[in-house]
Amino acid sequence: MSGNEINSYCRDIEGYLCQKNDGHLVRVVGPSFEVVSRWAAAGVPLKVAFRGIDRYFERYYGKGPRRRPVRIDFCDADVMDVFDHWRRALGLAADPESGSSPFPSEADGGGDAHTVSRKRPSLPAHLERVLVRLANTRAQGTLGAASDATIERISGELAAACASSAGLRGDARRALIDRLAVLDAEMVRVLRASLDDGTRGDLARQADQELARFRHQMSPERFSRTRDAAIDQLARERCGLPILSFG
Whether 103 and 152 map to the same domain: the answer is: no
Greater pLDDT, 76 or 94: 76
Q: How confident is the model at residue 120 (pLDDT cuts 50, 70, 90)?
A: low
- In this prediction, residue 99 has a pLDDT band, given cuts at 50, 70 and 90, of very low
9 in the same domain as 99: yes
User: Would you state the pLDDT for residue 71?
Assistant: 93
- Note whether 185 and 229 are within 8 A (CB): no
Per the domain annotation, does 116 fall within a domain? Answer: no
- Lowest-pLDDT range of 69-78, 89-98, 152-161: 89-98
pLDDT(1) > 50? yes
Tell me: do 104 and 154 sit in the same domain: no
In a shared domain, residues 177 and 90: no
- Is pLDDT at 142 greater than 80 in this prediction? no
Same domain (yes/no): 163, 95: no
Q: Is residue 113 part of a domain?
A: no
User: What average pLDDT score do residues 176-184 get?
Assistant: 92
- Domain range for residue 169? 123-239
Question: Rounded to whole angstroms, how far apart are CA atoms 156 and 7?
Answer: 48
Q: Do the Cβ atoms of 195 and 233 come closer than 8 Å?
A: no
Task: Give the whole-angstrom CA distance, residue 158 versus residue 89.
Answer: 21
Across the range 214-237, mean pLDDT stands at 88
Asked if 151 and 102 sit in the same domain, the reply is no
User: Which of 142-146, 148-152, 237-241 has the weakest average pLDDT?
Assistant: 142-146
Instruction: Specify whether 49 is located in the same domain as 74.
Output: yes
At residue 116, does pLDDT exceed 60? no
3-state SS of the chain is CCHHHHHHHHHHHHHHHHHHCCCCCCCCCCHHHHHHHHHHHHCCCHHHHHHHHHHHHHHHHHCCCCCCCCCHHHHHHHHHHHHHHHHHHHCCCCCCCCCCCCCCCHHHCCCCCCCCCCCCCCHHHHHHHHHHHHHHHHHHCCCCHHHHHHHHHHHHHHHHHHHHHHHCCHHHHHHHHHHHHHHHHHHHHHHHHCCCHHHHHHHHHHHHHHHCCCHHHCCHHHHHHHHHHHHHHHHHHHHCCCCCCCC
Cβ(74)–Cβ(114) below 8 Å: no
Longest dimension (CA), the chain: 54
**Which amino acid does the sequence have at 62?**
G
Residue 158 lies in a domain: yes
**Whole-number Å distance between alpha carbons of 17 and 78:** 14
Residue 182 has pLDDT above 90, yes or no: yes
Confidence of residue 50 (pLDDT cuts 50, 70, 90): very high
Q: Are residues 81 and 167 in the same domain?
A: no
Closest alpha carbon to 71 in 102, 26, 131: 26
Q: Poorest-confidence range of 47-51, 54-58, 104-108?
A: 104-108
d(CA 210, CA 229): 12
The more confident residue out of 119 and 100 is: 119
Residues 70-93 pLDDT 10s = 999 999 999 998 898 888 878 776
How many domains is the chain built from? 2
Q: What is the mean pLDDT of the chain?
A: 83
Give yes or no: residues 135 and 235 share one domain: yes
Residue 211 shares a structural domain with residue 157: yes
pLDDT tens per residue, range 7-41: 999 999 999 999 999 899 999 999 999 999 999 98
Amino acid of residue 67: R
Q: How confident is the model at residue 155 (pLDDT cuts 50, 70, 90)?
A: very high
Give the angle 233-202-2 at the CA atoms, nearest 5°: 85
For residue 81, tell me if it sits in a domain.
Answer: yes
Question: Do residues 177 and 204 both lie within one domain?
Answer: yes
